[in-house]
Structure 1
Amino acid sequence: MINIKPAEARTAPGTGTASSASIVSFISKGLREMRTSADADIELLRNRANSIFKLADQGVEHFINSASFTVPTVTASAVTTPAEIEFVKKLRPKISEFRRAYSSPDFKWGTKGKLRIDLSAFRNAIAPDFEEESESERWRTWRRRLRFTEGGEKEEGHSGESSWEPIKALQTRCKEIEAELKTTSSSPAEILEGIKNSEFVEKVKSSLKSICKEPEETKEVPPLDVPELLAYLVRQSSPFLDQLGITRGISDKIVENLFSKRKNQMLQSLPEGESLIVASDSISDELDLRIATVLQSTGHSYEGGFWTDSTKRNHSDGKRHVSIITTASLPWMTGTAVNPLFRAAYLANTAKQNVTLLVPWLCKSDQELVYPNNLTFSSAEEQENYMRNWLEERIGFKTDFKISFYPAKFSKSRRSIIPAGDTTQFIPSKDADIAILEEPEHLNWYHHGKRWTDKFNHVVGIVHTNYLEYIKREKNGALQAFFVKHINNWVTRVYCHKVLRLSAATQDLPKSTICNVHGVNPKFLKIGDKIAADRERGEQVFSKGAYFLGKMVWAKGYRELIDLLSKHKKDLDGFNLDAFGNGEDAHEVQSAAKRLNLNVNFMKGRDHADDSLHGYKVFINPSVSDVLCTATAEALAMGKFVVCADHPSNEFFRTFPNCLTYKSPEEFVVKIKEAMSSEPQPLTPEQRYKLSWEAATQRFLEFSDLDKILNNEMLLDRRNQKGIVKSTSMPNLGEMVDGSLAFAHYCLTGNEFLRLCTGAIPGTRDYNKEHSNDLHLLPPEVENPVYTW
Structure 2
Amino acid sequence: MNYKPLEVRSSPSTAAASSGSISSVATAEKALSFISKSWREVRSSADADLQLLKNRANSFKNLADREFENFINSASKSPFSVPSITASATLNSAPPAEIDFVRKLQPKLSEIRRAYSSPDFKFYPRPQIKIDLSAIKNAIVAEVGEDEEDETESLRKWRRVGFKVKAKEGQFEEFWEPIKTLKSRLKDLEHKSSSEILEGIKNSEFVERLKSGLKAICKDPNESKEVPPLDATELLACLVRQSSPLLDQLGINRGISDKIVESLCRKRKDQLLLRSLPAGESSMIESENITDELDLRLASVVQSTGHCYEGGFWSDSGKHDELDNKRHVAIVTTASLPWMTGTAVNPLFRAAYLANSAKQNVTLLVPWLCRSDQEIVYPNNLTFSSPEEQESYIRSWLEERVGFKADFKISFYPGKFSKSRRSIIPAGDTSQFISPKDADIAILEEPEHLNWYHHGKRWTDKFNHVVGIVHTNYLEYIKRERNGALQAFFVKHINNWVIRAYCDKVLRLSAATQDLPKSMVCNVHGVNPKFLKIGEKVAAGKERGEQTFSKGAYFLGKMVWAKGYKELIDLLAKQKNDLDGFNLDVYGNGEDAHEVQSTAKRLNLNLNFMKGRDHADDSLHSYKVFINPSVSDVLCTATAEALAMGKFVVCADHPSNDFFRVFPNCLTYKTPEDFVAKVKEAMANEPLPLTPEQRYILSWEAATQRLMEFSELNKVLDSQADKHLGRRHKNGMPKSISLPNLNEVVDGGLAFAHNCLTGNEFLRLCTGAIPGSRDYDKQHSKDLRLLPPQVQNPIYG
**TM-score > 0.5, shorter chain as reference:** yes
Letter of the aligned partner of 1:80 in structure 2? F
Matches within 5 A, 1:544-559: 544-559=551-566
- Using the alignment, how far apart are the partners of 2:79 and 2:554 within structure 1? 114
Alignment-derived partner of residue 291 in structure 2: 291
Match of 2:779 among 770, 774, 778: 770
Alignment-derived partner of residue 77 in structure 1: 57
Alignment-derived partner of residue 65 in structure 1: none
Letter of the aligned partner of 1:395 in structure 2? V
Letter of the aligned partner of 1:528 in structure 2? G
Q: Does 2:465 correspond to 1:466?
A: no
Q: Does 2:739 correspond to 1:730?
A: yes
Structure 1 residues 297 and 177 mapped into 2: Cα distance closer, same or farther (>3 Å)?
farther
Alignment-derived partner of residue 62 in structure 1: none
Alignment-derived partner of residue 199 in structure 2: none
- Using the alignment, how far apart are the partners of 1:319 and 1:252 within structure 2? 44
CA apart distance, 1:301: 5.1
- Using the alignment, how far apart are the partners of 2:537 and 2:763 within structure 1? 56
- Using the alignment, how far apart are the partners of 1:563 and 1:368 within structure 2? 33
- Using the alignment, how far apart are the partners of 1:723 and 1:499 within structure 2? 34
CA apart distance, 1:780: 1.3
Structure 1 residues 759 and 722 mapped into 2: Cα distance closer, same or farther (>3 Å)?
same
CA apart distance, 1:502: 0.6
Q: Does 2:766 correspond to 1:757?
A: yes
Match of 1:338 among 329, 337, 345: 345
Structure 1 residues 426 and 95 mapped into 2: Cα distance closer, same or farther (>3 Å)?
closer
Corresponding residue SS for 1:404:
strand
> Per-residue displacement from partner, 1:558-612 (whole Å, max 9, x unpaired)?
1111111111222222221111111111111112212222111111111111111
Structure 1 residues 771 and 230 mapped into 2: Cα distance closer, same or farther (>3 Å)?
closer
CA apart distance, 1:551: 0.5
Match of 2:757 among 744, 748, 759: 748
- Using the alignment, how far apart are the partners of 2:539 and 2:79 within structure 1? 105
- Using the alignment, how far apart are the partners of 1:610 and 1:289 within structure 2? 63
Q: Does 2:156 correspond to 1:176?
A: no
Q: Does 2:504 correspond to 1:505?
A: no
Match of 2:244 among 214, 218, 235: 235
Matches within 5 A, 1:293-372: 293-296=293-296, 300=300, 302-303=302-303, 304-305=308-309, 306-309=313-316, 313-372=320-379
- Using the alignment, how far apart are the partners of 2:510 and 2:680 within structure 1? 28
Alignment-derived partner of residue 567 in structure 2: 560
> Per-residue displacement from partner, 1:46-105 (whole Å, max 9, x unpaired)?
xxxxxxxxxxxxxxxxxxxxxxxxxx98996345389999999999999999979xxxxx
- Using the alignment, how far apart are the partners of 2:771 and 2:371 within structure 1? 18
Letter of the aligned partner of 1:776 in structure 2? R
> Per-residue displacement from partner, 1:107-140 (whole Å, max 9, x unpaired)?
xxxxxxxxxxxxxxxxxxxxxxxxxxxxxxxxxx
Structure 1 residues 786 and 299 mapped into 2: Cα distance closer, same or farther (>3 Å)?
closer
> Per-residue displacement from partner, 1:144-177 (whole Å, max 9, x unpaired)?
xxxxxxxxxxxxxxxxxxxxxxxxxxxxx99824
Q: Does 2:529 correspond to 1:522?
A: yes
Match of 2:170 among 184, 188, 196: 188
Structure 1 residues 510 and 726 mapped into 2: Cα distance closer, same or farther (>3 Å)?
farther
Structure 1 residues 723 and 299 mapped into 2: Cα distance closer, same or farther (>3 Å)?
closer
Q: Does 2:791 correspond to 1:782?
A: yes
CA apart distance, 1:768: 0.9
- Using the alignment, how far apart are the partners of 1:777 and 1:612 within structure 2? 44
- Using the alignment, how far apart are the partners of 1:714 and 1:435 within structure 2? 20
- Using the alignment, how far apart are the partners of 1:738 and 1:181 within structure 2? 89
Letter of the aligned partner of 2:516 in structure 1? L
Structure 1 residues 656 and 95 mapped into 2: Cα distance closer, same or farther (>3 Å)?
closer
> Per-residue displacement from partner, 1:217-246 (whole Å, max 9, x unpaired)?
xxxxxx9689955642422657xxxxxxxx
Match of 1:486 among 486, 489, 493: 493
- Using the alignment, how far apart are the partners of 1:291 and 1:174 within structure 2? 64
Alignment-derived partner of residue 649 in structure 2: 642
- Does the 8 A contact of 2:639 with 2:649 survive in 1? yes
Alignment-derived partner of residue 254 in structure 2: 255
CA apart distance, 1:290: 4.0
Structure 1 residues 553 and 787 mapped into 2: Cα distance closer, same or farther (>3 Å)?
same
CA apart distance, 1:261: 7.1
Q: Does 2:642 correspond to 1:630?
A: no
Letter of the aligned partner of 2:652 in structure 1? A
Structure 1 residues 504 and 94 mapped into 2: Cα distance closer, same or farther (>3 Å)?
closer
> Per-residue displacement from partner, 1:433-490 (whole Å, max 9, x unpaired)?
1111111111111111111111111111111111111111111111111111111111
- Does the 8 A contact of 2:509 with 2:523 survive in 1? yes
CA apart distance, 1:772: 1.0
Letter of the aligned partner of 2:364 in structure 1? L
- Using the alignment, how far apart are the partners of 2:302 and 2:708 within structure 1? 31
Alignment-derived partner of residue 600 in structure 2: 593
Corresponding residue SS for 1:591:
helix
Structure 1 residues 694 and 723 mapped into 2: Cα distance closer, same or farther (>3 Å)?
farther
CA apart distance, 1:262: 7.2
- Using the alignment, how far apart are the partners of 1:361 and 1:513 within structure 2? 31
> Per-residue displacement from partner, 1:385-441 (whole Å, max 9, x unpaired)?
100111111011112111111111111111000111111111111111111111111
With normalisation by structure 1, the TM-score equals 0.68
Corresponding residue SS for 1:639:
coil
- Does the 8 A contact of 1:302 with 1:731 survive in 2? no
Aligned identity (percent) is: 68
- Using the alignment, how far apart are the partners of 2:443 and 2:746 within structure 1? 23
- Does the 8 A contact of 2:326 with 2:361 survive in 1? yes
Q: Does 2:665 correspond to 1:655?
A: no
- Report which of the two structures shows the higher radius of gyration computed on alpha carbons: 2
- Does the 8 A contact of 1:231 with 1:255 survive in 2? no
Give the aligned length: 584
CA apart distance, 1:309: 4.5
Corresponding residue SS for 1:387:
helix
- Using the alignment, how far apart are the partners of 1:392 and 1:428 within structure 2? 27
Alignment-derived partner of residue 538 in structure 2: 531
Q: Mean alpha-carbon deviation: is it higher for 289-298 or for 779-788?
A: 289-298
Corresponding residue SS for 1:355:
strand
- Does the 8 A contact of 2:650 with 2:666 survive in 1? yes
Q: Mean alpha-carbon deviation: is it higher for 625-634 or for 555-564?
A: 555-564
Letter of the aligned partner of 1:300 in structure 2? S
Letter of the aligned partner of 1:398 in structure 2? K
Letter of the aligned partner of 1:670 in structure 2? A
Alignment-derived partner of residue 711 in structure 1: 718
Letter of the aligned partner of 2:57 in structure 1? S
- Using the alignment, how far apart are the partners of 1:400 and 1:309 within structure 2? 29
Corresponding residue SS for 2:507:
strand
- Using the alignment, how far apart are the partners of 2:733 and 2:652 within structure 1? 46
Structure 1 residues 82 and 362 mapped into 2: Cα distance closer, same or farther (>3 Å)?
farther
Corresponding residue SS for 1:77:
helix
Q: Does 2:409 correspond to 1:410?
A: no
- Does the 8 A contact of 1:289 with 1:725 survive in 2? no
Matches within 5 A, 1:612-627: 612-627=619-634
- Using the alignment, how far apart are the partners of 1:480 and 1:324 within structure 2? 29
> Per-residue displacement from partner, 1:722-752 (whole Å, max 9, x unpaired)?
9999942433111111111111111111111
RMSD: 3.7
Alignment-derived partner of residue 46 in structure 1: none
